[in-house]
Amino acid sequence: MWGAGALRYGGDYNPEQWPAEVWREDVALMRRARVNLVTVGVFAWSRLEPEPGRYTFDWLDQVLDLLHDNGIGVALATPTASPPPWFSLAHPDALPVTADGVRLHHGSRDTYCAAAPAYRAAARAIAAALAERYAHHPALALWHVHNEYGTTCHCAHAARAFRRWLAERHGDLDALNAAWATSFWGQHYTDWAQVDTPRATQYLANPGHLLDFRRFWSDTLLAAYAEQRDLLRAANPAVPVTTNYVLGDWVPVDHARWAAEVDMVAIDHYPDAVDDGAEEQSALAADLARGWARHGAGGDRSAPWLLMESAPNQIHTGGRMHAKEPGRMARHSLSHVARGSRGVMFFQWRAPAGGAERFHSALVPHAGPDTRVFREAVDLGAMLERISEANEGTVDADVAIAWDAASGWALGHPGMPSPHLDHRDEVAAAHRALWRAGFGCDVVLPGDRLDAYRLLVLPALYLASDATADWVSGYVREGGHLLVTWLSGVADEHARVRLGGHPGALRDVLGVRVEEFHPLADAQTVPLSGGGTGRLWAETVRLAGAQPMDTYADGVLAGLPAVTRHRFGAGTAWYLSTRPDDATYRRLLSDAARAAGASPVCPTAPAGVEAVRRRGAGASWLFLLNHTDRPQRVPAAGVDLLTGATVDAQVHLPGGGAAVLRESDAAGRRGAPDRADG
């Protein structure tokens, strides 16, 4: 869906919060900013169905007609993330229950249990009513089901559904007892009725139980999405359907698995850093979205995805808001487009006067359109029109980083050796090191094809099934280059530790055997003999075929290997037993990537200038984003689509500025690929 062509531009539009005169101003301003897609109705359930079964569509009719008359498409949402107050009063059993047994009440949003039959029926009913009325409305460009699935519950409905799910997954109680290692602390189950959701416990809960609960919710929420999708699709198969993914460790959603069920992956992304951490987070989120999109029907490395929500201005960090500096909104947006997003959408169009998010940023802020933010929004609309030819093709990436939702969930469990074990953080650290060194990265999942990549990085891939272990060793045996970090391959898919020394599933390919963990205190570092430091973690690594490349220089581990390299089959496998400081990590990953034959996207780009290349049929586009506040020059040649200027030898980027270069042939040509595209 949504092939090459115009980039989508707009955001969440909540006309139900405003009188009709404001709608007319909204549409005039949208036209000025070249907005061509708005998400409507996300939280409008109580305004669309004020009483059970009584629908008030007249205002939405007018809004959709007005938008259509002005050439603006609509991503029409089903409002099921916020049931009306009447719903909770009529169906108290469908209100969510927390792990410690508290039943929550309406007054915010997401107040429902997606396993409760009454909620599911009401959600289907409002979705069906919307489908019946609007499936053929000419403004309708996309169905946006729900908002950010992720809410869990421990009520009786959830417990019943969890037991059914467990019986299907494990077959019988013996298998469940084995998977959850219930002999520990006498948790052995003898009847399904004894199995509950992981409610609040006296002390540490069972890790297998917690992990399956996450998986159960991913599947349950997916089923809730799919039943809405099916009835929307049935009403008009020509209109694509999706839902917006929320990112975060708390989210019990396996986004890659969901990709097969949506017509296009859509993500919401809100960086929480104020320094260049925000740029790195945007790059990682976009690479993740592109990696998930490959898992869609017919997905490949150029599968489309969409940035469905982002913040026009303030970044919310540590309970405080930080205004984005001029130019930053555009650079974040271009970074997503460079990485394959079919457009740039924001939360939200107009800032509301009231409600919980009254101070969230908006394209039209409280101060109105005569503002820097709205002027930047107008500029961004023009930029996106000028670069629309770059809305196709694959993104150059020589390096693959593995992502695994379940490893993230399992590492967050209580009873781990350190409080700082986080799959996302480790993926982000490796991605950051490669981002700073200028290498393009794809995010892959265990089992994905790897023949497009020179280097595979596994950061804290804690859970590894036998199939994952075979995927890794097969890749290296056949000549692949691999870099594995601490805490990978330690446990199986049920979160049971593999015996015989860590990293159990990957010992052979790495040629090491880890005897002991040495988690480090928060501010503690350990010197490495190569000059860098390690933090967070260290290990007693015994060599079993690998060579030491760096050693611990102090303390109980002095002289023992910290970084190793192993020839395995026709390939090479590196192991890092600690988190190196940023400079050391960057050097290590650059060395491993270069030794594997990878090269940075634009080797001449100076520090602080991000370079991403998209490659389409017969053309390539180089996105250059200057994240520094100083002017920068980048040797490159082509036509800068943002200015129309021809660049012969050097692009001049103002501080905070950007260029999107249609490259002259010679500049964009890639070294002859020796591997097929995955």
242/394 with CB nearer ligand GAL: 242
- Measured CA to CA, the distance from residue 586 to residue 607 in angstroms comes to 13
Contact assessment for residue 209 and residue 176, using Cβ atoms and an 8 Å cutoff: no
Backbone angles phi, psi at 414, to 5 degrees: -65, 160
268/426 with CB nearer ligand GAL: 268
Residue with tokens 């409507």: 40
Q: Hey, what amino acid is at 648? A: D
361/626 with CB nearer ligand GAL: 361
Q: Hey, what amino acid is at 27? A: V
Residue count of the chain, please give it. 678
147/473 with CB nearer ligand GAL: 147
We find the least distance from the C-beta atom of residue 353 to ligand GAL, in angstroms, to be 16
Residue 585 exposure: Cα atoms within 13 Å on the Cβ side: 24
309/492 with CB nearer ligand GAL: 309
| Residues in contact with ligand GAL by the rule CB under 6 A | 147-148, 246, 268, 270, 309, 347, 357, 360
Helix/strand/coil percentages in the chain, nearest 5? 35, 20, 45
- Measured CA to CA, the distance from residue 392 to residue 615 in angstroms comes to 7
The vertex-276 CA angle with 641 and 438, nearest 5°, equals 60
We find the least distance from the C-beta atom of residue 317 to ligand GAL, in angstroms, to be 12
Instruction: Identify the active-site residue in 49, 279, 280, 309.
Output: 309
We find the least distance from the C-beta atom of residue 68 to ligand GAL, in angstroms, to be 24
352/474 with CB nearer ligand GAL: 352
We find the least distance from the C-beta atom of residue 677 to ligand GAL, in angstroms, to be 34
Q: Hey, what amino acid is at 197? A: T
- Measured CA to CA, the distance from residue 95 to residue 114 in angstroms comes to 9
- Cα-based torsion angle of the residue sequence 276, 399, 268, 328 in order, rounded to the nearest 10 degrees: 30
Contact assessment for residue 64 and residue 137, using Cβ atoms and an 8 Å cutoff: yes
174/357 with CB nearer ligand GAL: 357
Tokens matching residue 13: 């539009």
The residue whose Cβ lies closest to ligand GAL is 347
We find the least distance from the C-beta atom of residue 246 to ligand GAL, in angstroms, to be 5
Instruction: Identify the active-site residue in 49, 148, 426, 539.
Output: 148
- CA 624, 630, 631, 632 torsion: positive or negative? negative
We find the least distance from the C-beta atom of residue 667 to ligand GAL, in angstroms, to be 39
Residue 484 exposure: Cα atoms within 13 Å on the Cβ side: 31
We find the least distance from the C-beta atom of residue 12 to ligand GAL, in angstroms, to be 7
Q: In the annotation, is 309 catalytic? A: yes
357/677 with CB nearer ligand GAL: 357
Q: In the annotation, is 148 catalytic? A: yes
- Measured CA to CA, the distance from residue 651 to residue 633 in angstroms comes to 5
User: How many secondary structure helices (H) and strands (E) does the chain include?
Assistant: 18, 31
Q: Hey, what amino acid is at 567? A: R
Backbone angles phi, psi at 360, to 5 degrees: -70, 150
We find the least distance from the C-beta atom of residue 356 to ligand GAL, in angstroms, to be 8
269/290 with CB nearer ligand GAL: 269
Judged by DSSP in three states, 240 sits in coil
- Cα-based torsion angle of the residue sequence 326, 327, 331, 333 in order, rounded to the nearest 10 degrees: 80
Tokens matching residue 300: 């490949």
We find the least distance from the C-beta atom of residue 148 to ligand GAL, in angstroms, to be 5
83/480 with CB nearer ligand GAL: 83
87/347 with CB nearer ligand GAL: 347
Strands annotated E in 569-645:
571-576, 579-580, 609-616, 619-626, 632-635, 638-640
**Closest Cα partner for 528 from 507, 566, 555, 503?**
555
We find the least distance from the C-beta atom of residue 79 to ligand GAL, in angstroms, to be 12
Judged by DSSP in three states, 167 sits in helix
Tokens matching residue 271: 């960086």
We find the least distance from the C-beta atom of residue 248 to ligand GAL, in angstroms, to be 9
Count of CB atoms situated within 10 Å of the CB of 275: 9
Judged by DSSP in three states, 176 sits in helix
Beta bridge partners of 317: 320
- Measured CA to CA, the distance from residue 63 to residue 280 in angstroms comes to 38
- Measured CA to CA, the distance from residue 91 to residue 196 in angstroms comes to 22
**Closest Cα partner for 146 from 269, 49, 241?**
241
We find the least distance from the C-beta atom of residue 118 to ligand GAL, in angstroms, to be 24
Contact assessment for residue 116 and residue 93, using Cβ atoms and an 8 Å cutoff: yes
**Closest Cα partner for 327 from 392, 383, 289, 271?**
383
83/489 with CB nearer ligand GAL: 83
Beta bridge partners of 551: 561
Active site residues: 148, 309
